[in-house]
Structure 1
Amino acid sequence: MAAVGCTALVLIATAVTGGSVDEADSLPGGDAMGLNVEAIPAEYRDWVIQAGKLCADAPAALIAAQIEAESNWNPRAGSHAGAQGIAQFIPSTWATWGVDADSDGDADVWSPPDAIMTQARYDCYLADEVRRYKILGVENRQLMLAAYNAGPFAVAQAGGIPINGETEIYVPKIIQLMQKYSAALDETSGPFGARVIASAKRWLGTPYSWGGGSISGPTYGFAQGAGTKGFDCSSLVQYAVYHASGGKILLPRTSQVQVGEGKAVARKDLRPGDVIGFQLSGSAAGYDHIGIYVGGGQFIHAPRTGQTVSYARLTDGYYASRPQTIRRYG
């Protein structure tokens, strides 16, 4: 994140009832309502939906994206490293984590129900494990995926996503594939907040580009963003709000100015589509990051150079400890 202020956006949408957040059902892909079920082979749909309810860190859309990346839905898949089945478990990991989901008396790595539910169980464990490492600047979901691919020890040793010729490709691939398995949201109908989220969500997996992005979509940035076509945090917010409003609301370009627009909102009144500004670099830089809450304590944003438009958690220490302000534009 540039110290002079992020011309980037963080989209944040929340479902709050009585001051609490329903983490399982409000996340994108967290249940059948947020899942593009038609993209999943029919014989695996019920298991993917069930697996996606085990924890908020591994919603159904992510489970499906992982399976495509691991085996392309082939329950008999194998790898040169000895990984087996639709979710590609190596025997030693399966011996510890395998479950008998179909209740046939055997935890079988070649059984799709067993493998899919074990995948979700292992994802949830890894999410909690890497959260303990308190690695700043990388979303916990990305660290979870990196740990699934390379192992949690490799993530701890690297202090982030390991660069080994595979894991750094695996993680953004799955984040990108989540678009395929997430239910498409209509950017032109429904509540304004839902339209803001839909407009931002379509760009999941798009590279961060400092100074890049406009109301027309991803563009090349400048300075460290000169060679990358994408969005920064505030351009993503600007794009999402502009299209959600049918072109009626054109926000200023930088996060520091965007947080002065619209209506101030108290944290207890936060709702889907509200935008949150963060002071990441100290008060002198103003609110140098911004985003949109999507439910389950998460928001979607363009984080920083080298990363992509993705989800993060408001409870992550990197964000939770910073001053925040909430605005509503529609």
Structure 2
Amino acid sequence: MSARIVSVFCVLSALGLFVMFAAALGSNSPAVSTGGSLLPGTVPPEYEAWVIKAGSQCTEITPPLIAAQIDVESNWNPRALSPARAKGLSQFMDGTWPTYGRDDDLNGRSDPFDPADAIMAQGRFDCAAAETAKRDLASGRVTGELLDIVMVAYNCGYGCVLDRGGPQGTTGGAESDSYPSKVKAALPKYSLPSTPVGPGFIPGGPFGTNVVAAAMTKIGLPYAWGGGDRNGPTRGISDGGVADSYGDSMKTGFDCSGLVLYAVAQASGGAILLSHLDSDQVADPRGQRISDPAQLQPGDIIQPHSGHIFIWLGNNSVVEAPQSGDFVKVSSYTPSASGLVARRFG
């Protein structure tokens, strides 16, 4: 973000489940391909939850886009300071910060050098620019690709976009011209490639592999207590009736058993519809009980303790929707040699 701005989220490859990411942006259209879900392990772990949250504030701005911008802006240096005095991970100028900066981590200060504050402010800026750009594209006030417009706005301000009549032009200079392409070039690094789902979506693949593939397409979606059904994420029940530690109370996403319900339904083409209770899922007679950790296969469902359930990937890894304030992700898990509660469907 330049001085001119003041003018206005190993196992994956081993399972062989994913296709190559390809960005497809339509001219003069608000449609944007911005990477979907964050590829686990690609951003510093202390920033991952904030990148996911910042990239979930509007449909046009995704976690991989937030991460790609930070890559270009500061290369993940929270103390970055540009010659123009742009500050922090997201390179905010003093004149712009008050509009978008908040004390998001509730540490008593709003600071562009605070990574949580900076990442969330970046998401707010991008979403505000996207909303304005959609209106201006519809009215013909500007032309071009929505993503390019948002990126130019981030680099030199939305007034710069209006002066140009879109993302390309002379106002803002060469840096603003090249900024969208730099961010788009970084997107694949942070993007979880999409996988088709439905009956036979991995031709000839084992049932368990299909379970894993379905669950993996939901990486990065929010945990939502009571969320998830056979078709995908749903709006959950308020987490205990109060906002969680991230300030959210009602979200659209999955809880642990909702994710399992969805993945098994997708793998079976809707033939196996499990209960939404983890205890019912691991006791369902349509599945085969697995009691030996050495016999676990990808796609088996495991109840590590009462009240939680997840999907085995192999290599001591699982895909899960862990808890309130978190998101669907790959986690480490070493199954016990005794007392394993697991079941295999298909």
Q: TM-score if structure 1 supplies the norm length?
A: 0.47
Q: Which has the larger radius of gyration?
A: 2
Using the size of structure 2 for normalisation, the TM-score is: 0.45
Q: Could you say which structure has the greater relative contact order, defined with CA pairs below 8 angstroms and 6 or more residues apart?
A: 1
